[in-house]
Amino acid sequence: MQQRPTGVTILAILAAIGGVFSIMGGLAVAGLGGLAGAMAGSGELGALSFILGGVTVILGGLWIAVAIGFWGGRAWSWALAVVLALVNIGVTIAELVLGYASIFSAIIAVVIPAIILYYLNQPAVKRYFGR
Exposure letters 71-91 (e unless 16+ CB within 10 A, then b): bebbeebbebbbebbeebbee
Write down the pTM of the prediction.
0.83
Instruction: In whole angstroms, give the CA distance from residue 105 to residue 111.
Output: 10
Please report the pLDDT score of residue 10 as a whole number: 96
Tell which residue, 89, 86, 67, has the closest CA to residue 77: 67
Q: What is the residue type of 10?
A: I
pLDDT digits (tens, 9 = 90+) for 9-41: 999 999 999 999 999 988 888 877 766 666 666
CA gap 19, 67 in Å, rounded: 9
pLDDT confidence bin for 48, thresholds 50/70/90: confident
- The dihedral through the CA atoms of 108, 113, 116, 122 has a sign that is negative
The predicted-structure confidence for 51-105, as pLDDT tens digits, reads as follows: 888 888 999 999 999 999 999 999 999 999 999 999 999 988 988 887 777 899 8
Question: Residue 100's closest CA among 32, 37, 52, 43?
Answer: 52
Instruction: Kindly report the backbone phi and psi dihedral angles of residue 53, in degrees, each rounded to the nearest multiple of 5, phi listed first.
Output: -65, -40
